[in-house]
Amino acid sequence: MAFEVITFGEAMIRLSPPGFRRIEQAKSLDLQVGGAELNTAVAVSRLGHSASWISRLPDNPLGRLVANHAREAGVDTSHVMYSKDERLGLYFLEFGAAPRASSVIYDRKGSAIAAVQPGMVPWAKVFAGSKWFHVTGITPA
């Protein structure tokens, strides 16, 4: 199937203390799914256009959480790859409260998308009939 927009990139789990608490004050963390390319595919789908997101996720409950998030928004995940060996990247976000700025801590080393190798994605099939490709600089880096 051809899609109007194809995106390729990492999704991560965002963990944030509720309100404007700092991590060292937290007793719980709120969980959200995010990632620039996935967020773009979700937005495109919500605007009524067809979108497919390509990525690599761990084959575990966190990976399935991310894939379910995409599918619930109407995003195609037929080219998402799954791995038994890698993990999902995390980031911790403290929302700022003036005069303190927001703060982010990334924990993404060894994430599943970092193991994508040439030839793993059938690009000719993915792009057939599609109109737009979206990727940011982080994934290729």
Phi, psi (5° rounding) for residue 76?
-70, 135
Kindly report the average pLDDT of the chain as a whole number: 95
| Domain-located, residue 141 | no
Total number of domains in the chain: 1
| Domain-located, residue 121 | yes
Look up the domain containing 124 and give its range: 5-134
Q: Encode 86-102: b = buried (16+ Cβ within 10 Å), e = exposed.
A: bbbbbbbbbeeeeeeee
| Domain-located, residue 140 | no
Q: What is the CATH number of the domain that holds 55?
A: 3.40.1190.20
Mean pLDDT over residues 90-108, rounded? 95
Split at pLDDT 50, 70, 90, the class of 139 is confident
Split at pLDDT 50, 70, 90, the class of 39 is very high
| Domain-located, residue 23 | yes
* pLDDT for position 137: 87
Residue 129, judged by CB atoms within 10 A of its CB (0-12, 13-18, 19+), counts as exposed
Q: Quote the pTM value.
A: 0.91
DSSP string, 67-117: HHHHHHTT-B-TT-EEESS-B--EEEEEPPBTTBPPEEEEE-TTBGGGG--
pLDDT at 141 exceeding the cut of 80: no
- Please report which helix (H) or strand (E) contains residue 51, including its range: strand 51-54
Split at pLDDT 50, 70, 90, the class of 69 is very high
| Domain-located, residue 139 | no
- Residue 26 Cα to chain centre, angstroms: 25
